[in-house]
Amino acid sequence: MQSRIAFQLGQTVTPVLRRTALASSTTKLAFQHAHTAPYAFTVTDAKYRTIKVPHMADSITEGTLKSWAKMVGEQVEQDEEVASIETDKVDIPVNSPVGGVIRELLAKEEDTVVVGQDLFKIEEGAVVEGGAAQSAPKAEEPSSSEPIAAAPKKSEPAAATPKEAAKPAAPKEAAAPAPAKESKPAASTSPVSFSTGERSERRVKMNRMRLRISERLKQSQNTAASLTTFNEIDMSNLIDLRKTYKDDVLKTHGVKLGYMGAFVKASTHALQAVPEVNASIDGDHLVYYDYCDVSVAVATPKGLVTPVLRNTERMSIVDVEQEIANLGKKARDNKITVEDMAGGTFTISNGGVFGSLYGTPIINMPQAAILGMHAIKERPVVVNGKIEIRPMMYVALSYDHRIIDGREAVTFLVKLKEVIEDPRRLLLSV
């Protein structure tokens, strides 16, 4: 009888003990997790995924990891940027293909990473349960305690005021010997010293874009038989055209009418008239392009980039201005892509926006020529036998003499000059 009661008691008590032990172990695990992880996560059927360095371009196999936009323990949405990789052309953003929580970073900033390399691990499906909301008040606590710690410091100047109050009497007594300090013997005995200031220098590592620019420019100098020819353009008619229609263009098309659109169209007109300028060398062959893809040099904080305006022979001046505005904004916002800069059959560089009066641009290989625009300056010129003050611009064409002879180079600039000085020629294609 006693054994039966004991057996029944064991049958009833054991499940209770098991549930108690299970609850205790669950509490223990939750406590340990809360003290080891910076945030609390909801994990439901979550899985870890290793994200690799993405394919960037056919000609780019590696880059420098410049920055992490997300750190371990932070929430990431799908297609949100996690890291940025600097290449010799553009910065490539690395976005997360899934939403979740970053668990591990597999590379450090300034490390060289290659395409296909493991970059970071993400726990797919994990969600931060308000860790950011809880951490914000904690971050404010030290700031609230700083005024309390600073209070004694503010009382120190108050304690020093009696000493300062005693000082006014001293200047009155020292007023009499003051002329003696300015006497000639005192001035003759004091040594004369010259302050040279601080002399320092900084050593900064060149980024990949600057290194690539250096290589390409030096390659251009070493490869092309470079020569430059010049001309000058009377900008009066183009300036009048811009003043007359800039408000209408802005109202109708939402873009500012500048001078670059006219120069791109004038260059396209000249490229079609002189096809040797719109060519390149490929081995022992000359390649002539029936289309005009004009690269426009844009200055960015990291260096010079040359986004391409494609098929400018099909574009109007307003179309060119709109595309230049779009590409310029992308370049300044560091969102320009490799595809935006691929190709190009001719380049225009506008140093005039920085005040350049005269210069010889370097050819953007493998192109055959580059046009350099410069600042508009009023100068006295002879017009119909009379001296007049006109807004003038010097233009320069650097060209590869292996492809282009002097006749073609000069003809190109003359065609450009004719169109800019009389924009109506564009309507008549003459």
Tell me whether residue 405 is one of the annotated catalytic residues: yes
Which position has the token pair 């960015």? 300
CA 403 vs CA 20, 287, 295, 426: distances in Å: 89, 10, 19, 27
Nearest to 54, CA basis, from 10, 117, 109, 130:
117
Catalytic residue (choose from 58, 111, 405, 422): 405
Q: Cβ distance 84 to 107 under 8 Å?
A: no
278/368 Cα distance (integer angstroms)? 7
Concerning whether 401 is annotated as a catalytic residue, the answer is yes
3-state secondary structure of 377: strand
Q: Of these residues, 35, 290, 401, 422, which one is catalytic? A: 401
Contact 100, 122 (CB under 8 A): yes
- C-alpha distances in angstroms, 185 versus 89, 177, 181? 68, 14, 9
Taking alpha carbons only, the member of 218, 295, 263 closest to residue 373 is 263
Q: How many CB atoms lie within 10 A of CB 101?
A: 25
Structure tokens at 158: 């108050």
Going from the C-alpha of 319 to that of each of 9, 20, 300, the distances in angstroms are 90, 75, 23
Measured between alpha carbons, how far is 397 from 273 in angstroms, rounded to an integer? 16
Q: Is the peptide bond before 366 cis (omega within 30 degrees of 0)?
A: yes
Q: Where are the beta strands (DSSP E) in 217-296?
A: 226-234, 279-282, 285-288, 294-296
- If one counts every other C-beta atom within 10 angstroms of the C-beta of residue 111, the result is 13
Asked whether the beta carbons of 84 and 93 are under 8 A apart, the reply is yes
Cα-based torsion angle of the residue sequence 108, 111, 112, 116 in order, rounded to the nearest 10 degrees: 0
The token pair at 160 is 């020093």
Which residues have a catalytic role annotated?
401, 405
